[in-house]
Each structure stands twice: as structure tokens, then as C-alpha cells.
Amino acid sequence: MKTYRKELTYHVPTRRAIINVTREVQAAIDESGIKEGLVLINPMHITASVFINDHESGLHSDYEKWLEKLAPEKPYSQYAHNGYEDNADAHLKRSLMGRESVCAITDGRLDFGTWEQLFYYEFDGKRDKRVLIKIIGE
């Protein structure tokens, strides 16, 4: 069995953003030479998520509205964690959206359904953040 590791770095200029990382993940699979296996994609930060869904702006807007209802950014005083740093909402949003995605690789390609894409969702941006890609297989 072979393994391959790559890190992506993003600097999101806003507090929150959704970035399509499908092409970068497929490029890492291509670089790895692995044809059959699994790929793990996870943010290396506790205030971001990686998820799979449709690349549709209305859906992305719906995520933002839904998450703000469940874990609003402000007022900062509503969260005990914010005595340390004003990002408690980002931690909660990450818990809701999940940490990582694991995807099948078949014949050297992401084995996705018709509309599936991979996204990095940043909840506490304005600084460099890393995303780990770990591929295992043959």
C-alpha cells in the first residue's frame, strides 16, 4: 500500500468563506499515482470544516444563514470561550458541519456522484490556514 501527504494553505481575507477544493484534491491524487484507495481531507484548524455537497451559490448562502441562526457570531459576550478569543461561534459551526471528508478513489479519480464537490469552509479567517490531504491505496 502507498501513502501520499500534501498540505494546502489558504488565506481567507474574510471571517467566513466556502472554497471549492475539488480540483486541488484531484491534483493531489494525480500526483500520488494512487489509482484505487481513499483520500482524507481535513482542516488542520478547529474553526474550519471540509464537506461534500453541490457547488451552488444558493445552497452556500443557505448554509451561512442556517449556521448564523444556530451559532450567531455576535454578541461576542454570549459565549464563555470569547473571554480568550472572539471565535466561539466558529468552533460551534465546525461542530455542526463536521471535521473532514473521506472519499473513494476509483481508477485515479474521485468517485463522486453527479453534483458532488469538496469544499473547505472557513469560520474564523483572516490568517493562513492549512488543509491536509492524506491518500492511501494502490
**Residue-level pLDDT, tens digit, the chain, 138 residues:** 999 999 999 999 999 999 999 999 999 999 999 999 999 999 999 999 999 999 999 999 999 999 999 999 999 999 999 988 899 999 999 999 999 999 999 999 999 999 999 999 999 999 999 999 999 999
Residue with cell 473513494: 104
Distance CA 97, CA 95 (A): 6
| Per-residue pLDDT at 112 | 97
Q: What CATH class has 2-137?
A: mainly beta
Residue 108 corresponds to which amino acid?
Answer: G
| pTM (two decimals) | 0.95
| Per-residue pLDDT at 134 | 98
CB atoms within 10 A of CB 26: 17
Whether the CB-CB separation of 19 and 126 falls below 8 Å is answered with: no
